[in-house]
Amino acid sequence: MYQSQIALLKEIDRVRGLMVAAARETGYTSEETIRRSQELDRLIYEYQSYCKESELQRQRAKILFRQIILLTKKQYVLAHA
């Protein structure tokens, strides 16, 4: 697993370049090009999963923040009632 989204994007770009070079040198259906393409697919899937998990974490944080605000308001109202 990559440490950051940026590192993963850099790796995707690097493998994409290798795949394009392989396709130019050995053809689109060569074993090397297909292997690079599969590696690129795996990395892109990993990136999409990373983004989805990041979005889920953001949504959870928003929910928790809203709950904290509601509890704080409720406590304030009860304390001053």
Neighbouring C-beta atoms of residue 40, cutoff 10 Å: 19
What are the tens digits of pLDDT across the range 41-56? Answer: 999 999 999 888 888 8
How far apart CA 64 and CA 4 sit, in angstroms, is: 24
Q: What letter does residue 30 receive in the DSSP assignment?
A: S
How far apart CA 11 and CA 41 sit, in angstroms, is: 12
Flag whether the pTM goes above 0.75: no
Query: Per-residue confidence at 2, pLDDT binned at 50, 70, 90?
Result: low
- The total domain count for the chain is 1
Residue 9's domain comprises: 5-79
Average pLDDT, the chain: 90
CATH code assigned at 46: 4.10.280
> What's the sign of the alpha-carbon dihedral 17, 18, 21, 27?
negative
